[in-house]
Chain A
Amino acid sequence: QQQVKQSPQSLIVQKGGISIINCAYENTAFDYFPWYQQFPGKGPALLIAIRPDVSEKKEGRFTISFNKSAKQFSLHIMDSQPGDSATYFCAADNSGNTGKLIFGQGTTLQVKP
C-alpha cells in the first residue's frame, strides 16, 4: 500500500512533442505529490508538486494532472526539448508525518532533436 507505481520506464519523444509520465498510488493518506528531475551525476531537483485539492497545476511547460478518485497523477511536458532529457521520479508523501517520500521507479526521458 506504500508503493507508487510509475510508467513508462523509458520514453523517447521528438523535440516539440508532449512527454507524458504516469503514476498511481494506493495509500489514500498521501497528500503531497512531487515530481523530481534528475540529470546524470546530479541529485534530484524538485520540478513541480501538487496537493489533492486541485486537479491540475501548471508551471511553464510542465503540468501535473491529478485524479483523486482513480488515485493517479501524471506529468505532462509540453514542447519537449533535448534539455529535458533526464530521469523523472514521481513521489508521494503524507505531509506532516516524517517527510518520508515514497518514490516511483523512475522514467528515463530522451528527447530527440
Chain B
Amino acid sequence: GEDVEQSLFLSVREGDSSVINCTYTDSSSTYLYWYKQEPGAGLQLLTYIFSNMDMKQDQRLTVLLNKKDKHLSLRIADTQTGDSAIYFCAEVVRGGNKLTFGTGTQLKVEL
C-alpha cells in the first residue's frame, strides 16, 4: 500500500543544517519529490530524485534515498529564516500519475 510519513515539526537555528526525514512503504515508487509550502501559498517544487539514485545535490539542498529502508531525507545547508515553511515529500509509483504526499514537516528557523 501507499503511506508516506514525516515528523510534524523541526526547529533549527539560522545557519545550521536542517534534515527533514520521510519514510514510504511502496517499493515500486519511481520518483520521490520534495515540495515547499509557505503560509498562504501554493506548493513549490524544490527537487526530486529518481529511484535508481542514492543522492542528489542542488545548491543548498541534498536529497538522500535509502531504498532498502524506504527512507528519504532532505538536507538544507545554511538554513535561513526564509526557509521556514512546511515541507512535503511525495511519491509516484511505477506507471502511476498521482502524487501521494506525506503529512508535511513544519520547519521553524530561529535567529
Partners in one complex: no
Which chain B residues have a beta carbon within 8 Å of chain A's beta carbons?
none
Which chain A residues have a beta carbon within 8 Å of chain B's beta carbons?
none
